[in-house]
Amino acid sequence: MSEKTNESFPRPEADSPENGRLFILSAPSGAGKTTLCKALLKLFPNLRYSISHTTRPPREGEQHGADYYFIPIEEFKKNIKLNLWAEWAEVHGHFYGTSAKFIESTLDKGSDILLDIDVQGARQILKRYPDAITIFIMPPSIDELEKRLQKRGSDSRLTIAKRLKAAEAEIAQKDFYTHEIINDSLSKAIEQLTDIINLPRKNR
C-alpha cells in the first residue's frame, strides 16, 4: 500500500468562547462509528459533519457532496502545495483530504464540527488544531468485532482478516485520545458521546 501524509502548520487563531469546537471520532472498521456519527448529527443541530475530498472515482450509490467531494488529482495536488488540507493521505494511489478552509470557516462562525477520521489523520489534525476533542470508539472485543464484520456480508475472509489486523494496530494507539468509549450498547455509547459534547470547555 502506498501511503503518504502531510505535515501541516498550527492554526494561528487561538480558541475562544465564540469559536466552534472540533470533535474527532476514530474507531476500527466495524466498531459502529458511522452509526454513532449519524446519531450525534440528529441530536446536535449545531454540529457540522466534515466531508472528505478524494481523487478516486465514485462507487455505486455514492453522491458528490454527500459521501465525498470527488475532485481531479491535479486540484488535490495544487491544494497540497498551498497547504489547504488540514490533513491528507495517499492510499492505493488515491488521495484523501480534509479541507482546512471548511474547518476554519465553520469554527469561526461558532459552529461545532464532527470529524470522522482514522488515527493517522487525527494525529495530523491535532498538529494544526491542538484544541480538538479526541474520542476513540472501542469494540467490546476483537472477537465481537470479527462477528460484526462477518455479519455485514460485504467483505471476503481475507478482507476481514486485514481489517482485524488494522483494528489491532489502531486500538494500540487509543491512549493517544482524550476520551474512550466502548460501544457494547448503542444507546449507552450515544449517551456517553452526548455527555462529552455537553461538557464545559475546561473539562474536555
DSSP codes joined into one string, 75-132: HHHHHHHTT-EEEEEEETTEEEEEEHHHHHHHHHTT-EEEEE--HHHHHHHHHH-TT-
Mean pLDDT of 143-161: 87
Question: Is the residue at 131 inside a domain?
Answer: yes
Mean pLDDT of 8-27: 68
Q: Which of 120, 124, 152, 127 is nearest to 32 (CA)?
A: 152
Mean pLDDT of 158-169: 90
Give residue 6's pLDDT. Answer: 52
Question: Is the residue at 110 inside a domain?
Answer: yes
Question: Is the residue at 2 inside a domain?
Answer: no
Question: Is the residue at 1 inside a domain?
Answer: no
Angle between helices 186-198 and 33-43 (to 10 degrees): 50
pLDDT band, residue 46 (cuts 50/70/90) = confident
Mean pLDDT of 161-166: 89
For the chain, what's the residue count?
204
pLDDT band, residue 8 (cuts 50/70/90) = very low
Mean pLDDT estimate for the chain: 88
pLDDT at 42 over 90: yes
Q: Which grid cell is 7?
A: 505535515
Mean pLDDT of 78-84: 96
pLDDT band, residue 203 (cuts 50/70/90) = low
pLDDT band, residue 124 (cuts 50/70/90) = very high
Q: Which of 110, 130, 134, 99 is nearest to 11 (CA)?
A: 130
**Could you give the C-alpha distances from 23 to 51, 94, 116, in angstroms and in order?**
14, 26, 9
**Could you give the C-alpha distances from 95 to 27, 116, 156, 174, in angstroms and in order?**
21, 16, 24, 25
Q: Number of structural domains, the chain?
A: 1
CATH of the domain at 153: 3.40.50.300
Give residue 153's pLDDT. Answer: 75
Task: Give dist(CA 155, CA 163) in Å, integer.
Answer: 10
pLDDT at 15 over 80: no
Give residue 9's pLDDT. Answer: 39
Question: Is the residue at 92 inside a domain?
Answer: yes
Domain range holding 163?
19-203
Question: Is the residue at 174 inside a domain?
Answer: yes
Question: Is the residue at 10 inside a domain?
Answer: no
Question: Is the residue at 14 inside a domain?
Answer: no
pLDDT at 16 over 60: no
